[in-house]
Chains A and B, each alone.
Chain A
Amino acid sequence: MQTRGQLRALKTIARKETVRILRIWIQTIVPPVITMTLYFVIFGNLIGRRIGDMGGFDYMQYMAPGLIMMSVISNSYGNVVSSFFGAKFQGHLQEMIVAPMQTWVIILGHVVGGVIRGLSVGLVVTIVALFFTHLEVQHPLTAISILVLTSVVFSLGGMINAIFATKFDDISIIPTFVLGPLTYLGGVFYTIALLPDFWAKVSAFNPILYMVNGFRYGVLGVSDIDIGMAFAVILVFLALAFATCFYLISRGIGIRE
């Protein structure tokens, strides 16, 4: 199949994924918005007032970029893991395997779906945040780049999870036991300057710290991490995740017998 055909196939997967997100909007868009609204009300408004300033901003302002990033991460991951595993479980993933699509098309098509959902939820959460606090984006290009790249990394992560998953339990283990803790410990709610030296050093091994702080730099202009380092870490994880997906799908691991 020529390049034009491959691009048509890519467009088809992206369209299919978008239709899926919109068809089940009550499951894909609404729950994260409710959760994030509760975070803003409870942690930002009620508890945050007693915390005072953090990183030179009021707590609600400081927390908002972290919550936006948190929703982008969990929704990008969740979209691809559930869509890809659902297709595998129902068997219609075979439609793509038997078609003359190249491996990158299958990966990118699903990543586009993950990014669309991640950014859609991120946008709605941003709108919700504006009801609670004032946000003035300091470095728009940096903020958008970090957000999109992070969304791509976790979409790929969701795909790797789905490839190895053999039952529905397997697609909730990583989000519950790995992704959740790493996100909460990734500087969403605090600056690592508050941590004892040892734990601050341990936090440096958490890739989500770089993503949250990169985005916070884009929005508020402050970060615990050097922005160049944030981009480097994200790009390294993106390359690793893409290479892993490419290897697994082209070898048929988890999707062919």
Chain B
Amino acid sequence: MHNRRSMQALSIRNLSKTYANGVTALRGIDLDVAEGDFFALLGPNGAGKSTAIGIVTSLVNKTGGTVEVFGHNIETELEKAKACIGVVPQEINLNQWDTVYNCVYNPAGFYGLSAKRSRIRTETCLRELQLWERRDETARNLSGGMKRRLMIARALVHKPKLLILDEPTAGVDIEIRRSMWDFLRHINQKGTTIILTTHYLEEAENLCRHVGIIDDGRIVENDRMSAVLRKLHQEVFLLNLEESVPADFQLQGFSSTVVNENEIEVEMHKGTSLNQLFKALSAAGINVTSMRNKTNRLEELFMRLVERREDERTREVTEPEQRI
């Protein structure tokens, strides 16, 4: 584990949740998110991410464990904990009949801001999210991307110290997604701690400094993004070649596959430098015009962790039968 000296924005201990229908969503998770961090909470569908976020934001009742937000326990100091949090839920949950302005102005009042302060903050947030010009329109007239931005503006209106985003860029086009990334980086640099869940692992790799991977209600990985990525034993690169190569071509010292006559795929094991790769390419008389990483590194790691957990679960189920 990495060393985190600053205050914990979020501290979760032994958090568990079993729903009324008997489904156990969380099995005693521990999680710390340091103040100022940009933290990715990843996991497959149904892993327990949204349940964990729901408990932190008081939308879901927990079964056991403790949650502290900036030192405020959600059981004993719920109001103080809530005041620290801004949340952008996965589903669009705006009042579709309200104006864009009121969608942000009213929640400011819910957090106890004065009318004057609410007006100032509403204008600031709507301008930052490029929605000020649309302030008099009803929320239902906005595009999907604009609605997502409006939910971010709403979550920021009371200047939360911790912003929780549950798949904020789902269904958003690439251009808007990139501009949202820039905005999130900007507010993180200004001091807002951010917890992000996303299915776009590229998004997590680009934005986040720490990552927690949750699967089947358990934390299976929790470390610095760089440390997590270092755990990968191999990466696959796609090389575009100046001249064509035969179909049975093998690069000396590497495991390689010919994709087509001008493209090969090379597996690089941990500890192998790119210099060694280029030395081998030069020795083979091959000129490379371009290269790219074939897989998203985090995605690959994520898949491995999830698959490993799946194997363990399968063994847990089958082994007792084998003993019989």
- Asked if B82 and A100 make an inter-chain contact with CB atoms under 8 angstroms apart, the answer reads yes
Q: Which residues of B contact A101 (CB under 8 A)?
A: 110
- Of A8, A91, A100, A257, which contacts B79 at CB under 8 A? A100
Residues 55 to 110 of chain B near chain A (Cβ within 8 Å)? 57-61, 78-80, 82-83, 85, 87, 89, 91-97, 102, 106-110
| Contact segment of A9-17, A110-118, A208-216 | A9-17
Question: Which residues from 198 to 237 on chain A have a C-beta closer than 8 Å to any C-beta of chain B?
Answer: none
Residue B59 contacts which of A4, A87, A92, A94 (CB distance < 8 angstroms)? Answer: A94
A87 in contact with B112 given A1-B79, A94-B59, A100-B82 (CB within 8 Å): no
- Structural contact, B112 and A1, CB atoms closer than 8 A: yes
Q: Which of B61, B102, B107, B110 contacts A19 (CB 8 A)?
A: B102
B102-145 residues at the A interface, CB under 8 angstroms: 102, 106-115
A12 and B109 contacting across the interface, CB-CB below 8 Å: yes
Contact between chains at A92 and B94 (CB < 8 Å): yes
Nearest Cβ distance between residue A20 and chain B, in whole angstroms?
8
Asked whether any CB of chain B lies closer than 8 Å to the CB of A50, the reply is no
Q: Which residue of chain B lies nearest to A23 when distances are taken between CB atoms in the complex?
A: B97
Closest to B93 in A: A91
Asked whether A99 and B94 contact (CB < 8 A) given A9-B112, A11-B109, the answer is no
How far is the CB of B83 from the nearest CB of chain A, in Å? 5
In the complex, whether B297 has a CB less than 8 A from a CB of chain A is: no
CB-CB contacts below 8 Å: A89-131 with B: 90-92, 94-102
> Inside 8 A of A5's CB, which chain B residues have their CB?
111-112
Check B154 for interface membership: any CB of A closer than 8 A: yes
Contact status of A1 and B83, CB under 8 A, knowing A9-B112, A91-B89: yes
User: Quick one: which of A1, A13, A19, A98 contacts B57, CB cutoff 8 A?
Assistant: A98
In the complex, whether B54 has a CB less than 8 A from a CB of chain A is yes
Which residues from A are CB-within-8-Å of B183? Answer: none
- Are B79 and A87 in contact, CB atoms less than 8 angstroms apart? no
Partner of B112, one of A8, A91, A96: A8
Asked if B19 is at the interface (CB within 8 A of a chain A CB), the reply is yes
**A100 CB contact (under 8 Å) in B80, B89, B115:** B80
Kindly list chain A residues whose C-beta atoms are within 8 Å of the C-beta of B79. Answer: 1, 100, 102
Q: Which residues of A contact B82 (CB under 8 A)?
A: 98-100
Residue of B nearest to A12 (CB): B109
A-chain residues with CB within 8 Å of residue B97 when the two chains form the complex: 23
A92 touches B95 (CB 8 A): yes
| Per-position 1/0 for B31-67, Cβ under 8 A of A | 0000000000000000000000010011111000000
CA distance A91 to B114 in the complex (A): 25
Whether B107 contacts A99 by the Cβ 8 Å rule is yes
**What's the Cα separation between A139 and B102 when bound, in Å?**
41
Distance from B54 Cβ to chain A, minimum over Cβ atoms (Å): 7
Q: A2, A96, A256: which contacts B110 (Cβ < 8 A)?
A: A96
Which chain B residues lie closer than 8 Å to A90 at the CB level? 93-96
- CA–CA, A98 to B307, complex, Å? 35
When the two chains form the complex, which single residue of B60, B94, B113 contacts A256, counting CB atoms closer than 8 Å?
A: B60
Nearest CB on B from A58, distance (A)? 44
- Chain B, 138-171, CB within 8 A of any chain A CB: 154
Out of A95, A256, A257, name the residue touching B106 (CB < 8 Å).
A95
Q: Is the CB of A99 within 8 A of B111?
A: yes
- B residues less than 8 Å from A100 (CB atoms): 78-80, 82-83, 111-112
B: residues with CB less than 8 A from A are 19, 54, 57-61, 78-80, 82-83, 85, 87, 89, 91-97, 102, 106-115, 154
Q: List 16 A-B contacts (CB under 8 A).
A: A1-B111, A2-B112, A5-B112, A8-B113, A9-B111, A90-B96, A91-B91, A95-B106, A98-B58, A98-B59, A100-B78, A100-B83, A252-B61, A257-B19, A257-B60, A257-B61
Sort A-B residue pairs by CB-CB distance and give the 3 closest, nearest first.
Answer: A5-B112, A12-B109, A91-B93
A1-B111, A8-B112, A94-B87 given; 4 more Cβ-contact pairs under 8 Å: A12-B108, A95-B110, A97-B59, A98-B87
